[in-house]
Amino acid sequence: MTATDFSNIETSSHTTSSILSVKNATRRFGGLIAVNEVSFEVTPGEIFGLIGPNGAGKTTMFNLLSGLTPPSSGAISFEGRCLIGLPPYKIAELGVARTFQNIRLFGNLSALENVKIAQHTHTKAGVLSGVFGAGRAREEEPRVLAKATELLKLVGLDDLAGEQAKNFSYGDQRRLEIARALALEPKLLLLDEPAAGMNPTEKQGLSDFIRMVRDKFSLTIVLIEHHVPLVMGLCDRIAVLNFGQLIALGNPAVVAGDPAVIEAYLGGD
Amino acid sequence: MDITVFVQNFLNGLSIGTVYAIFALGYTIVFSILGIINFSHGAIFTLGAYFTYFLIGGLNNGSGILANAGLPFGLPFVLAILVGSLMAGFCGVLIERLAFKPLRTRGADPLLALVSSLGVALVIVNLVQYLIGAEILSFPSNVFGEFVNQNPSINFNFVDPSRPIPIRTVQIIIFAVSLVILVLLAYLINRTKFGKALRAVAENPITASLLGVSVDRYIFLTFLLSGFLGGLAGTLVGTSFSISGPYFGVTYGLKGLAVIVLGGLGDIPGAVLGGLVIGLAEAFVPGDFSAYKEAVAFALLFIILLVRPQGLLGRRLIQKV
Amino acid sequence: MKPVTRKIAIAFGILAATTFVVAEKVATPIAIGVSVAQTSNTALLGREQVIGAQIAESFFNSRGGVNGTPFKLFFEDTGGDEAGAINAFQTQINKNNVVAIVGPTLSQQAFAADKIADRAKVPVLGPSNTAKGIPQIGDFIARVSSPVSIVAPNSVRAALKINPEIKKVAVFYAQNDAFSTSETGTFQETAKAQGLEITTVQRFQTTDSDFTSQVSAGLATKPELVIVSGLAADGGNLIKQLRLAGYKGLIIGGNGLNTANMFPVCQQYCDGVLIAQAYSPTAAGSLNAAFRTVYKNTYKKEPPQFTAQAFAAVQVIVEALRRVDKAAKVSGAELADVRVALNDAILAGTYNTPLGTISFDKEGEVNQKLFYVAQIKMNPDNKTGSFVYLK
Amino acid sequence: MFESFFNQYGFLMVYMVLQATLALSLYLPLTAGQLSLASPGFFALGGYIAAVMSTTVWATNGMFPIPYLLLEMLLGGLASGLLAVVVGVPALRLRGIYLALATIAFVEILRVVSLNLTITGGAVGIFGIPQPFNSSLEYMWVALPLLIACVIFTARLEKSRIGRAFVAIREDELAADAMGVNPTYHKVLAFVIGAMIAGMVGAITAHFLNTWNARQGTFDASINILAFVLIGGSRMTLGPVVGGMLLTALPEILRPVGDVRLIVNGFLLTLGAVLLPQGLISPRVFKRKKVDV
């Protein structure tokens, strides 16, 4: 069975209810095909896992979704709106937020500032309003502060609000990135290896946390994760990439039993 | 355009372009290794010319505190130019130790290198002015030997015998010397252990040090080579036009920046290409627009950067996400 | 009002209330300021001026100074920019308490700094400011350097005397140099007035050294006369490259090329170039002879025009001071009064300087009796040469 | 004593204030991570506008009316801002040193153009610019309020939504983009505000120097202003202000040293860069106190 066949099945069954739809997305870097004709759909409220061996194209897929890398061909739409050609900040405005595999916090800034910045799209104050503390800024700034504080509390970092992000522990940086992404008030949250570097206890907590966040903010979540038990326990559905191709898609039990997946993991890594 | 004029402009452009290239190579190898721009490179250019001038036994006709001073000996020109450029190279190394290394060890913002080397340039220029003076120094007209002295320009007839194209002999010599230097440099960088290591360090200093390349030693050699090239270019221009004083290298310093960015920062063939492009572009500025000749290099730079933000041969920066 | 703002306002109030309260006295030796470009890329000219002023200092002090009272020159470097010139002038006026200032080197600097001196009622004598409008900056501003409009035309007439067949002229000038751009305008007007055709106007920068494109374009128009307005290094290189490109006709060099500094640049190719001069080392007069001897003994070459002009500027101030001093002793007098009296005396006098006899009109513009056209004659060593005065 | 001090240093003090303000024009794009050296170009443009307006359109015989000076500053600022949009939109796609060089190219092109135009007076420039004040020091009435306004403006902007976006771009442009900050818009905005400041400073400086010419906007000035910002400190509004004042005053402070003063000046510049990699004023200086408590 080929990847294309999967996509046919998927498109026919999820067209109307999907929040995110990827059709034949392809990305080449020179001769290398990082993502090859991948298609899938994500339904609202779902926690959708994206797994695969190293170099399978997972992060590239995230970059395509968030607009950091334009696809070479294919279609991506969010809530029925085509994302192709939109710059990252536009996609963020539409309600897609993400975290990064190699944490990209604003290291020299405080945790609070990191979260404040991400509220950019939900505030409007211009230069003069900001400088004079009048007009929009007058109303927005307390709101921004309150929201940032609330989100830091949610991820348990309110004590460290004034500390520079680069001084945080690895796990705290991951949490801060999630808080920052949540500040965008997204509808779709893309988490790139949120458990990387966390200890087993933290990982267990993370599952509960992600579910809680999903429910609290009515989110749809797509996550990349290496830690298989976490993915199996957390995700509603899983897509498996290998060498840029989608080799399996379905609920955790089905995917875990798929011979192609077993082959990819055993043979690959 | 008239073919005679075309050929003349072309040869002029090549001649000055190769000097730009040699000078700019000094800039670019430092950038390729350390990711910094050495603003004192123009001052090194000046120093090279002064060193050679005094090494051939020239007297200081300037009014600085060393007025009328000179060395008690005079070296043959070929030797003087090599020693003079080498001395410029060691000045480059000294600058590295004083102005760049402390910044590197502190992990300071690379931008600061601009300021620290600006300070060095200010010191060099004003020190030359203080010691030597602001006056013009000229190489004797027989510095390239009697033949050049007797035949300061050569007529070329290969287009139209009735209208010979006069080319300055010095220009031809400089062009030839520059070509030899560029070939040697290409060999050095592509074929020798030093060159390979240099490229490795340029590629990634951390990996290079893991591979056993002593990064510090290669930084030393890079600045030596960079200063040597800068000093050599200064001497060549000085013999062609005379040394116009302590600010001799300033215009070349600025234009050299245009050259390396045009070619692609840190890219060695790019610096050569950039030098030739700017040299030729300047040579082909129509007479009616000679007023804008000075801006040609920068206009070209501006336009090319808008089309190719990484310069002509530079690699596009791919940011890893 | 915030406290900080109030403090600033009070400080300003005090300032406004306390201008010109203390009266300074003229010191002994009498202080005269010289502010020229001793650094920056204009220093080549500034150095020549410093030398001229220093020669004048020892020359006139050894001849009794100001009626027996010695004077002392205070040198404050202007650098090459306008702000530097103003800072130097401020230091001369308020710290060195000079009676007058010689300077600055560039006309652009003069436009900035002279205004400051004029406001403080300190006489300024420009040694090398040739642009239009300098004496008009104020009552206290005068210059010993003739405006270009007077110096330049003589040389065109001289060229036509040598070769009456000349019809086509190519003009070259340094477009970033204020002096050269003014001068080329005068040259071009003169050429047109003499019925010559200007075939091309080529521009370059004083910082250039390679002129091959301008030379190619200029010579393509087949000129019979080339006029160059520039400074020593660039002008010299241009002349050399013109000759090497096969140009055989006459060349006129502007006043900026009136310096022996050009000789080592264009070497044997300088030979025969006509130069418009505001100063000729060979000019008659015992003072010029004395000045020339002192200079030649130290520097082994002919004194440049900038040196002679700086000498003349100091001379004018000293001679005017002598007249002021005769009326009422200068040393120990109120500085402000001396400055005003000195300014009147400068404008009133006639001076027999190395430049020839000069005087000033009531605006401060110099009236110079003699201008010269010289032809360069190079020595066999190709590094030295002389300006041969053309009758 | 008191007023002779102000007579001697009045010009310098105002010039320090003006240069400090100019330093802010380079600092602003730098807060958004953009190394633009274009300030002298806009500074020159503002000066030319003031010089041309005051010597032609509003030529007066007596004192130049201060409202006209303010109007010129406005015009200089607006024209510079407009030019900054035209130049900034294409140029700000460039990164790091490439942008720096493109902006140097812009300054050089503008310089050569101004040498060749009639309206700018060619190499001689424009002179006899009417004076709104009787002494150099009185320019403080305009220069200091402008500096204070620009410092307050910049400091408050940094704490606002737009300022946060600037800093986010400086820290990590890609992440900022992904967090909904439009990088191009904010980079151009920072560049334009900087240009407007430079244009306003230019307008005052033209009157202050009494003359204006192509030598005001040069590569040298670009590098000097960069030194103001880096030596002063590029992470706080106060840094460029202190750096601009100090480095403007340095050659004058060193005047008693005599012939070697510029050698010493250059040496101190290198020493400053090497010994104070954070600049004189850095947030760390202020933070440390807090941590100790």
- How many domains does one find in chain A? 1
Domain boundaries, chain B: 3-307
Q: What angle do helix axes B268-283 and B169-191 make, rounded to 10 degrees?
A: 160
The helix-helix angle for D161-171 and D2-31 (nearest 10°) equals 70
Amino acid at D167: V
Q: How far is D166 from chain A (nearest CA, A)?
A: 10
Of C39, C232, C246, the CB nearest to B136: C232
Whether C3 maps to a domain, the answer reads no
CA distances from A183 to A127, A176, A223, D22 (A): 22, 11, 18, 36
Chains that touch D (3 or more CB pairs under 8 A): A, B, C
Q: Report, as an integer, the average pLDDT of D219-244.
A: 95
Give me the pLDDT at residue C213, please. 83
In this predicted structure, the answer to whether residue A76 has a pLDDT above a threshold of 60 is yes
DSSP, res D138: G
pLDDT band at D206 (very low <50, low <70, confident <90, very high): very high
* Residue A236 belongs to some domain of the structure: yes
| Interchain CB contact of C94 with B (< 8 Å) | no
Q: Are residues C329 and C182 in the same domain?
A: no
pLDDT tens for C190-203 read 999 999 999 999 99
Give yes or no for residue C72 having a pLDDT over 50. Answer: yes
Chain B CA closest to residue C202: B290
Q: What pLDDT sits at residue D75? A: 98
Q: What is the pLDDT of residue D147?
A: 98
Helix (H, G, I), strand (E, B) or coil at C29: coil
Q: Do C253 and C385 fall within a single domain? A: yes
- pLDDT over 90 percentage in chain D: 85
Residue D10 has pLDDT above 80, yes or no: yes
- Tell me which residue of D201, D130, D156, D204 sits closest to D31, measured CA to CA: D156
D–B contact: 3+ Cβ pairs < 8 A = yes
Give, in order, the Cα–Cα distances in Å from A20 to each of A42, A214, B138. Answer: 5, 16, 75
* Angle formed by the axes of helices D183-209 and D66-91, nearest 10°: 140
CA-to-CA distance for C8 and D137, rounded, in angstroms? 13
**pLDDT value for B232:** 96
Q: What is the DSSP code (8-state) at residue C304?
A: P
Per-residue pLDDT, averaged over C273-298, amounts to 92
Q: Would A173 be classed as within a structural domain?
A: no
Segment A117-122 shows an average pLDDT of: 96
Element (H, E) at A42: strand A32-42
Does the pLDDT at position C391 exceed 70?
no
pLDDT value of residue C48 = 93
B321/A contact by beta carbon, under 8 A: yes
Judge whether A201 lies within some domain.
yes
Q: What is the pLDDT of residue D290?
A: 41
Query: In this structure, what DSSP letter does residue C370 have?
Result: -
Rounded to a whole number of angstroms, the distance from the CA of B110 to the nearest CA of chain A is 17
Domain that holds residue A79: 12-95+186-266
Interface of D with B (CB under 8 A): 35, 90-91, 93-95, 97-98, 101-102, 104-106, 108-109, 111-113, 115-116, 174, 219, 223, 226-227, 230-231, 234, 259-260, 262-263, 265-274, 277
Q: What letter does residue D53 receive in the DSSP assignment?
A: I
Is A93 an interface residue toward D (CB < 8 Å)?
yes
Q: Is C149 on the interface with D (CB under 8 A)?
A: no
Residue C14's pLDDT band, with cuts at 50, 70 and 90, is low
User: Do C12 and C133 belong to one domain?
Assistant: yes
Work out the mean pLDDT of chain A and round it to a whole number. Answer: 89
Query: Which CATH number goes with the domain that contains C377?
Result: 3.40.50.2300
Report which secondary-structure segment, H or E, holds C300: none
Highest mean pLDDT among B198-207, C19-28, D91-100: D91-100
Between chain C and chain A, are at least 3 CB pairs below 8 A?
Answer: no
β-strands C372-378, C141-143 pairing: unpaired
Tell if the CB–CB gap between C175 and D262 is shorter than 8 Å: no
pTM comes to 0.93
Q: Tell me if D280 sits within 8 A of D240, measured CB to CB.
A: no
Tokens linked to B107: 């992990």
With CB atoms and an 8 Å threshold, state whether C86 touches D136: yes
Amino acid code (one letter) for C305? Q
Pairing state of beta strands C356-360 and C366-368? Answer: antiparallel
Burial of A199-215, coded b for 16+ CB within 10 Å and e otherwise, reads: eeeebeebbebbeebbe
Instruction: Give yes or no: residues C92 and C192 share one domain.
Output: no
The answer to whether D236 faces chain A, any CB pair under 8 Å, is no
Complete DSSP assignment for A102-121:
T----TTSBHHHHHHHTTGG
Quickly state the pLDDT bin for D2 (edges 50, 70, 90).
low
The mean pLDDT of chain D is 93
| Mean pLDDT confidence for C373-388 | 89
pLDDT at D46 over 80: yes
Most D CBs within 10 A among C7, C19, C204, hence the mutation to make, goes to: C19
Structure tokens belonging to residue C366: 């110099």
Compute the CA torsion angle C234, C240, C246, C249 (nearest 10 deg): 80
Shared-domain flag, residues C376 and C355: no
List pLDDT tens digits, range C75-105. Answer: 999 999 999 999 999 999 999 999 999 999 9
Residues C272 and C125 occupy one common structural domain:
no
- Band of the pLDDT at C212, cuts 50, 70, 90? confident
- Which residue of chain B has the CA closest to C45? B134
Read off the CATH number of the domain in which A223 is found. 3.40.50.300
Distance CA A162, CA A164 (A): 7
Task: Give the mean pLDDT of A56-71.
Answer: 94
Q: Of the ranges A2-11, A227-236, A251-260, D135-144, which one carries the lowest mean pLDDT score?
A: A2-11
Q: Which residue has the higher pLDDT, C356 or B162?
A: C356
Task: Judge: D214–C176 Cβ closer than 8 Å, yes or no.
Answer: yes
Q: List C-alpha distances in Å: B107 to B34, B101, B198, B238, D288.
A: 12, 10, 21, 38, 20
Cβ of B164: how many Cβ atoms within 10 Å?
16
Distance CA C225, CA C160 (A): 9
pLDDT score recorded for residue B194 = 82
Please report which confidence band the pLDDT of residue D61 belongs to, taking 50, 70 and 90 as the band edges: confident
Q: How far is C106 from chain B (nearest CA, A)?
A: 16
A127 contact D CB<8A: yes
DSSP conformation class of D255: G
Mean pLDDT of D126-153: 96
**E strand spans, A123-168:** none
Please, which pLDDT band fits residue A37 given cuts at 50, 70 and 90? very high
Residue A124 lies in a domain: no
Are C267 and C161 in the same domain?
A: yes
What parts of chain B have a pLDDT lower than 70? Answer: 1, 159, 205, 316-321
Tokens read off for B21: 């290239």
Which one of B109, B319, B321 would you mutate to disrupt binding with A, by most A Cβ within 10 Å of its Cβ?
Answer: B321
**Residue whose tokens read 């140009």:** C247
Number of structural domains, chain C? 2
Q: What is the pLDDT of residue A127?
A: 94
Is residue A58, in this structure, part of any structural domain at all?
Answer: yes
Of D10, D15, D215, the CB nearest to C108: D215
**How far does Cα D96 stand from its chain's mean position?**
19
CATH, range B3-307 = 1.10.3470
pLDDT tens-digit series, residues D150-164: 999 999 999 999 999
The whole-number pLDDT of residue A8 equals: 41
pLDDT digits (tens, 9 = 90+) for C304-327: 999 999 999 999 999 999 999 999
Average pLDDT over residues D68-77: 97
CB-CB contact of C180 with C209 (8 Å): no
Buried b (16+ CB within 10 A) or exposed e, C92-127: bbbbbbbbbbbbbbbbbbbbbbbbbbbebebbbbbb
More confident call, C2 vs D192:
D192
pLDDT confidence of residue D284: 67
Q: Which two tokens stand for residue D275?
A: 């010994």
Query: Does residue A82 belong to any structural domain of this protein?
Result: yes
Residue D289 has pLDDT above 50, yes or no: no
Nearest CB neighbour to B309, from listed D98, D266, D271 = D98
Task: Give the start-end residues of each E strand in A43-147.
Answer: 47-51, 73-78, 81-82, 96-98
Same domain, C201 and C313: no
Q: What is the pLDDT of residue C15?
A: 52
Sort out which chain A residues have CB atoms less than 8 A from B321's CB and list them.
59, 63, 68-69, 100-102, 104
Preceding omega of A142 cis (within 30 degrees of 0)? no
Q: How many degrees, rounded to 5, is the angle at CA C176 between CA C170 and CA C180?
A: 50
Coil, strand or helix at C25? strand
Judging contacts by C-beta atoms under 8 Å, the chain C residues touching residue B126 are 39
Which residue in C has a C-alpha nearest to residue B282's C-alpha? C213
Tokens representing C327 are 């009326």
Residue A168 lies in a domain: no
Beta partners for C174? C204
Instruction: Note whether A156 and A134 are within 8 A (CB).
Output: no
Write down the pLDDT at residue C330: 94
Same domain, C131 and C39: yes
**Residue C15 domain boundaries:** 8-146+285-360
Distance CA(D159)–CA(D161), nearest Å, equals 7
Q: Which two tokens stand for residue B188?
A: 């050095």
Tell me, what's the pLDDT at B2? 72
Please tell me whether residues C22 and C134 are part of one structural domain: yes
For chain A, percent of residues with pLDDT exceeding 70: 93
CB contact under 8 A, C77 and D261: yes
pLDDT for res A13: 41
Task: Specify the amino acid at residue A1.
Answer: M
Q: Decide which of B192 and C126 is more confident.
A: C126
pLDDT tens string C112-125? 999 999 999 999 99
pLDDT(A246) > 50: yes
